[in-house]
Structure formats: C-alpha cells, structure tokens
Chains A and B, each alone.
Chain A
Amino acid sequence: MPQNNLATTASALVRGVSPELQQEIEQFLYFEAGLLDNHQIAEWMDLMAKDIHYFMPLRSNRGPRERNKEYSGAHDIAYFDESKASLDLRLRKLQTGVAWAEEPPSRTRHLVTNVRISPLANPKEYEVKSAFLLYRNRAEHQTDVFAGERIDGLRRNDSVAGFEIFKRHIHLDQSTLLANNLSIFF
C-alpha cells in the first residue's frame, strides 16, 4: 500500500486529469448513485459492462506481520463476487415482487466523495477511487450506515451516461458486518 500511495500523490494524480474530466466522472458517479437511490435498478444495471467484476472482499483484524491478509483473496468467500450473469440474476430476483428483503424496498442515499482519477493504459479507461457513505433505512425502524472506498474501472462509451463500469471493488470499513443483510447495491 505505501508504494501505491507514492505513485498517486496529489501532483501525480492531477497530471493527465483535467478539471473537465474530473467533473465529467464525478457527474457520472452522482448520476449512477441517483439511479440506485431512486430504485432504478434496471437502469443502473445497464451501466455494468459485460466484463464487470463487482466485488466486496471480507476484512479481518490481523497482526502486524499478517496485515497483508486483511482483505480476503480471490479464492476466498466474499460479501460479493459478481459477474454480469449473477448481477442479472439479482436484478431478476428484485423484479419478482416477492424478494422480501427488498419488498418494500430499502430507502438509500449514496454519498460519493474524495474522487481520485487515474488514466489507464487504454485511453478510454480510468481507475476511479472514491469514498462512500451509504445510508440505508428500511421497514419501520431499521437503519444501517456503511462507509468505505470504491475502486472502480470506468470505460468511456457511446451511451447517454458516457461510461460503463467494468470494475467495482468495494472496501467496506467493517470486519463483522453490522447489518442483517446486504440486499442493496454499493
């Protein structure tokens, strides 16, 4: 992690990222969050690329010699490890009208901030890191607050939204998840 930070200091990050690009990508992230918060899940799903990897690893408390094992790995169980096919299955589940964990649906508010953009080798692609605070309230009293970081891969395309998402890796700032389920999208 420290080496990574050296390569993405503020000055290095700003190089190649114009204010226009910064604004364009931030607006895309807000647009996308708005779809989720307005229950337009099918429209949100259209933003997911065919090669999407939607992934939320587990996090555990590790000692100093094993800190690199804080996040679960590619061959471990995760909170989410989704492809386009499995995300589509989730969408179809929600559309049945009998997906009880979201029927009636949760009220959510996705706050997205601290947006840092790095151009990738393919000139149409960017890695976009952001911090999020996701408020979820459902049924009569239930309230959950999730905070964390998203590491996204965005690809410019011809859609109205301007981009598709080919990677969304979500680092949740909890080890024991303090919610009864994760029936919402991040």
Chain B
Amino acid sequence: MATIIQRREKSSPTVDLASVYDEKAGTISPIVYADPAIYELELERVFSRSWLFIAHETHIPKAGDFLSTYMAEDPVIAVRQKDGSTRVFLNQCRHRGMKICRTDGGNAKAFTCTYHGWAYDIAGNLVQVPLEEQSFPNLDKSKWGARQARVDSYKGLIFATWNEEAPALADYLGDFRHYFDTVLDASEGGTEAIGGIVKWIIPCNWKFAAEQFASDMYHGTMSHTSPIMAAVTEENPGIDPSNLPGYQFRARNGGHGTGFFDAPEGSNWGFRIEQAGELVEGFDPEAAQNRQAAHLGDKRGTAFAQHLTVFPNFSIFNGASTARVWHPRGPNEIEVWAFGLVDKAASEAEKEQVRLMTTRTFSAGGTWEQDDGENWVEIQRVLRGHEARRTDFNIQMGAGATRTDGPDYPGTISNAYAEEAARGMYAQWFKLMSDADGSASKVGAYVDAAE
C-alpha cells in the first residue's frame, strides 16, 4: 500500500496553487476550472478525502438492491445488505480490473466479472474463482474482496468516502445540518426519491455547477427570466424575487453552502404549480405547506427556492425538489445525475405534482435547467484561451456583510444575493488542495462543526 501511495505522490503534477484563490482580495483564477494538473490533484485531494453522495436510501430498499454509480471518476456499486446496512465498493475486479457490474441498477445475488468469472457476493467478498484448484491453489479469497469505501448516512441520504480518517458524516456536515433539514426533514418520515435518475453530459467544470447551487441566487432572474416570464398571466402576476428578503448561509467548516428567500407562505407550492404548468387534480397545496411548516416549526417553514451544495459535488434545488451529483469527467466535463425528492408523508397527488414539476423544470429538458447548461458550456469554451485563463474572476459579492446574530437563522449568514457560500466552498477547496498529507480532511479539521 505504501508503495502505491508513494508512486502516486511522485506522479502528482506540480501545481502552483499560491495565487489561484484569494478570499481577502475576492479573486479566483480561472485556471482552477480548466487546468488538467489541477484536476488530477482534485481527484486525489478533494474527491478521495471528502464524503461523496451515493444514493437515497429508497433507491435501494431491499436486500440485494444495487445502484451503479461513481465516486468522482471511480465506478462503485452501492448494495443493500441483508441486515439493512449499505455497502459501497469499487466496481473493479481484483484480478484484471474489469467492471464486476455492467448494469445501472437492479437486484443481484452476486456480481460476476464477465472477463474471467471471478464472483463477488453482495457485500463485495470474493466468493468464487473459476478453476480455483488448478489456477490459484494458494489463493486467500478473503484478501481479494472488492475495495470497500466507508459508508455513512444522513436523514435518508447515503454518502461514502475513501478517507478512513474523515469525521462521521454528521460532523462533516456540521452546522449546515440545520439548513439541510429544511429539505430532508420537512415532514414526519423525511423524504423518498422519485423513481428514475436523469443522466447527461455538460462540457463544463464541476465547480461551476457546485458553486452555483451553493451560492448563486444572483443568476436566477437573468439566466432564468424566460420561464419566470412565461408563467405570468392575467390571473397569476408571479413572484418577483428581486424584492424578496433572503439569506445565504456559509458553513463554518467543510465548504457547504445554501441560500433561500424568506417568502410569503406557500411560495414554494405556488412556484411548483405555476412552473409545472398545471395543478394536479386532488392536490391541496395549503395542506402540504401547513404540514411542512408545522414539522419544521420555525422560519424554515417559509424558505423559498432554497439552493444548496454539500461539498464537493452534491446539490439540491428545493424550489423544484431536485437533487443531483455533478460527477467530474476531466476539467472540461461533468455528468449530471439528477433525481427528484418528495416527502414520504405526501399524498399521491402531491407526489405527482412534484414529479411533473421537477421533470419539467430541472432535468436535461427542463425549462430552467436548459439555460444553466448553456451558461457553463460557454464559459468553459472561453477558458480554452490562454489569456482568458490568466484573467481573474471577481468573487466579492457581499464580502464583509455577514452576520452571526440572526435571530431566525443560526450560523454565518448574509443577503441571498451574495457569494459568501461560494467563498466558503473555495476556501475548503483551497485548504484540501494545499494539503499534501491529508491532515486538513481528518476528524480534527472539522472539530468546530461537531459542537
């Protein structure tokens, strides 16, 4: 193991990170979005050391249910065990590295490599080797199971990490949990995933997407002005978000961020109906609003259009009930994996309202999402330019305007139109990227958050 790490360290590209991110000056160098050497270092120092989203518990409800997914570029299989726990292991045969599972999901009794036939049970243990007596007479199969990731979950969401020294997931999330719960714990029983994962390619760096969902309410009225205008009718004047009070939150540790409007009661549901284009028969939005407000029990009950990112690459836009992972695919490309979230306690009509809304707004063909893809693609294209890569970006919005004494909103908050959460994300990114030995991602580095 030691030699493997050493070899990897040696081949690590030399990257000068000294001036790429300067929080005080409020500048970030575009090379962080475009440099192949920085990307390689991210795979090692960001993605292999952080907790990464794997699946919703309801994606794999029964023993043997599995989902093929990725931790950054590494293919993994998440499998529900007979005791109800979840295993996440590398989708790579220990013999020659072929994928041991070549389907997207389903129910399995075992995973058999289609190259030479090594077979693994649903826990990832190597259980069968063809012609074992003749070919591998001294093989200790217990040592050649699939490589296991560490697994933890938070309110229905399963995460995994390769970092044995990372804090528990709840501590990794830290003071972000209060705002995460607005989505995950808005009703008794929490959430469930709507069936189906929309997967598509966007030729852009993963950080544009992660940052926007962490921090960027600002783009909404420009980038998404067309679906907002389209929904305005004589009967429905629509909501003008530029006049709403709103807040942004920067996690004390970990790089997580969120923002939302403090809107009139029921705004989320009004939005989900107008942007779906119709009200599903039998759905009572007022009952849904009241259920959630009562369960949340504080100002979070009126949070509208909440966006959030769990560092590094898991995001939710609760206005449209959509959750997604931005799987990195080199510096210039991502695979988006998006699914819908709905309260378990919701009626069938409410679930249908949410399903239609999230499909119609935030999927590859969504009336909102399609314009995001357009922006990020164009930015990435510009970054092919040598001079463009040397021209710093401004990341100063709302700098110095934070507060920690908000009566309704705990933690470091600022105006909804700010880049405080983005600065938090890049601070965490920079901390991990500058950290050769991994100490910045160990338990102690998150100790504040564990309070």
Instruction: Pick the contact of B201: A76, A88, A98, A177 (CB < 8 A).
Output: A177
Complex: how many Å from CA A85 to CA B375? 27
Q: Is the CB of B104 within 8 A of A175?
A: yes
Chain A residues in 8 Å Cβ range of B104: 60-62, 175
Q: Is the CB of B230 within 8 A of A100?
A: no
Given A62-B104, A179-B201, A181-B365; A81-B360 close (CB under 8 Å): yes
Complex: how many Å from CA A101 to CA B276? 19
B90-130 at interface with A (beta carbon < 8 Å):
102-108
Chain B residues in 8 Å Cβ range of A177: 198-201, 364
Chain B residues in 8 Å Cβ range of A73: 195-196
Chain A residues in 8 Å Cβ range of B157: none
Complex: how many Å from CA A82 to CA B356? 8
Chain B residues in 8 Å Cβ range of A75: 194-195, 351-352, 355
Chain B residues in 8 Å Cβ range of A79: 198, 359, 363-365
Q: Is the CB of A99 within 8 A of B195?
A: no
Cβ of A176 within 8 Å of any chain B Cβ, yes or no, is: yes
Cβ of A183 within 8 Å of any chain B Cβ, yes or no, is: yes
Cβ of A39 within 8 Å of any chain B Cβ, yes or no, is: no
Cβ of A50 within 8 Å of any chain B Cβ, yes or no, is: no
Chain A 147-186 interface mask (CB, 8 Å, partner B; 1/0): 0000000000000000000000000000111111111000
B236 CB to closest chain A CB (Å) equals 12
Instruction: Pick the contact of B369: A61, A77, A175, A181 (CB < 8 A).
Output: A181
Chain A residues in 8 Å Cβ range of B195: 72-73, 75-77
Known: A99-B371, A140-B381, A142-B377. 15 other contacts (CB 8 A): A58-B196, A72-B195, A86-B356, A86-B360, A88-B277, A93-B227, A95-B230, A96-B225, A101-B373, A176-B201, A178-B201, A179-B200, A179-B364, A181-B200, A181-B365
Chain A residues at the B interface, C-beta cutoff of 8 Å: 56, 58, 60-63, 65-66, 69, 72-73, 75-83, 85-90, 92-96, 98-101, 139-142, 175-183
Which 4 pairs from chain A and chain B are nearest by CB?
A: A86-B277, A182-B365, A76-B196, A76-B195
Q: Can you identify 8 A-B contacts, CB atoms within 8 angstroms?
A: A60-B105, A62-B103, A63-B108, A66-B107, A77-B340, A86-B276, A89-B230, A90-B230
